[in-house]
Amino acid sequence: MSALVISQQQVRQLLPMADCIELMAKTLEVLDRDEAFNPLRWAMPIPEGLGILGLMPGSVSGTSLPPAVGLKVVSIFPRNHGTAYDSHQGVVMLFDPERGYPIAIIDASEITAIRTAAVSGLATRLLAREDASDLAILGSGVQARTHLEAMLAVRGIDRVRVWSPNLDHRRAFAQSQAARYGIPVEAVESAAEAVAGADVICTTTAAREPILGGEWIAPGAHINAVGSSVKTARELDTAAVVNARLFVDRRESTLNESGDFLIPKQEGVIDDDHILGELGELSAGHVVGRQTPEEITLFKSLGLAVEDLTAARLIYDRARAQGIGTAVTIGDLPDVGD
């Protein structure tokens, strides 16, 4: 039997941001209908505190999307920030949903980069004010790059401010992205300066302590909180969470993994009812999103296996149709195809 190996560059070619945003809406609605299985991720610490190895299995059934069964295996090495290496590296593996043999091995770094930003793009489309045009990005790495692309896909952004702890990195980001999109991108000296008056805020850092203060956030802003995905770390301070209408990708994941939510909960200032809905519920019209132009909305992203798997399935189907990828033999049985 053969499996198709698909590279990072090929993922980028086969999964445009606009297509991925639409796919993530369908994926999360499928999850809302219980036509997908998404257990909590499992993580193994790597010795000497270098990072973790994460395992994210899942499956998608139903009729509205092609079936997908598989998992993402990813290493997370925070020390890679600022180097030539992505902090998140790994593969997404797809298996035949009827016979269980491997059908694809796909670069996970680019899938993660695109689908994470695409989900934030969906949240922004559903929750940000229609006239939102001023964007703040905290962070200047891979997720900052893809989040800028996603925000431009869903709102008429005409001003961007970026802050990250490294001056050279934020300046390089501002210069490259301004040239790419032909809009002003300004590197600023502080997170507070970046978010002052911003309509949309994306936090895409590896911070373990808050970098976004609630008192800095303008009325009517929408926030996509992306960087932290463990219960002991957070990017937003307590006030930023308390003052916002909170939506999440998955309640179960938030209650078990999100420091942005769990730390204020431990402080006794919010409870589980502070979560107003999942993004799939919001996309399907089962919960109410923004109610007034002045309120602050917050989407806390943790990332779900089913998002990786539906993205991988779309990539795999397109790769086969276009003759892209490298077929490798796995196992001793004859190649039986699909």
The pLDDT of residue 199 is 98
On whether residue 154 sits in a domain, the answer given is yes
188-199: average pLDDT:
97
User: What's the rounded Cα separation, in Å, for the pair 231 and 233?
Assistant: 6
21-32: average pLDDT:
97
56-70, pLDDT tens digit by residue?
999 999 788 999 999
The pLDDT of residue 317 is 98
The pLDDT of residue 63 is 80
Domain shared by 78 and 158, yes or no: no
63-78: average pLDDT:
91
Token pair belonging to 105:
């091995």
The pLDDT of residue 85 is 81
On whether residue 118 sits in a domain, the answer given is no
pLDDT at residue 257 tops 80: yes
- Provide the domain limits for residue 287: 129-300
300-309: average pLDDT:
96
199-225: average pLDDT:
96
Domain shared by 178 and 246, yes or no: yes
Token pair belonging to 251:
């309640």
On whether residue 338 sits in a domain, the answer given is no
pLDDT at residue 338 tops 50: no
Q: Which contiguous run of DSSP H or E holds residue 22?
A: helix 17-32
259-267: average pLDDT:
96
The pLDDT of residue 108 is 95
Q: DSSP states of 151-168 as a string? A: HHHHS---EEEEE-S-HH
Domain shared by 203 and 182, yes or no: yes
Q: How confident is the model at residue 38 (pLDDT cuts 50, 70, 90)?
A: very high
Give how many domains the chain has, as a whole number.
2
Domain shared by 134 and 106, yes or no: no
Nearest to 247 by CA among 128, 117, 113, 72: 128
The pLDDT of residue 334 is 57
Q: Give the CATH number for residue 103.
A: 3.30.1780.10
pLDDT at residue 80 tops 90: no
140-163, pLDDT tens digit by residue?
999 999 999 999 999 999 999 999
Domain shared by 170 and 290, yes or no: yes
8-36: average pLDDT:
97
Domain shared by 59 and 177, yes or no: no
Domain shared by 286 and 325, yes or no: no
Domain shared by 108 and 212, yes or no: no
User: What's the rounded Cα separation, in Å, for the pair 110 and 231?
Assistant: 25
Q: Give the CATH number for residue 153.
A: 3.40.50.720
Distances (CA, A) of 211 to 3, 208, 306: 43, 9, 29
User: What's the rounded Cα separation, in Å, for the pair 116 and 302?
Assistant: 9
The pLDDT of residue 333 is 59
101-122: average pLDDT:
96
The pLDDT of residue 335 is 55
pLDDT at residue 10 tops 50: yes
